[in-house]
Structure 1
Amino acid sequence: MFAIIGIGSFIGVKLDDKFPNEHNLYAIILSLSSVILAIVFVIRRIIANSKDDN
């Protein structure tokens, strides 16, 4: 989970360095997207593990 968020945030910051804009949109968008992706990943893993236990 931390790796997904870290990689997404890192890429967003690097894109903002390469393509500057007023509000750091790349960092904001990729950070939020990576948080959502990490949450979905964790939820899917929990569901898969609960099905395996039954």
Structure 2
Amino acid sequence: MALVGQKAPEFEVQAYDPVNKKYVNVKLSDYVPNTEGKFLVLCFYPADFTYV
């Protein structure tokens, strides 16, 4: 479980790239450098026009 103030667990998910119009694999390590003291905000939401 990820908690505020703690490191997020490493993950890999499939995401849609609207620029290239294809699905790509996204990893946390793609966005977080190996330096301490940096913050990253991740926001997830369902695709537009989907029923929630």
Instruction: State whether TM-score is above 0.5.
Output: no
Look at both structures and tell me which one has the larger radius of gyration over its CA atoms.
Answer: 1
Bigger fraction of residues in strand: 2
| Larger relative contact order (CA 8 Å, sep ≥ 6) | 1
TM-score normalised according to structure 1 size: 0.27
Bigger fraction of residues in helix: 1
TM-score normalised according to structure 2 size: 0.28
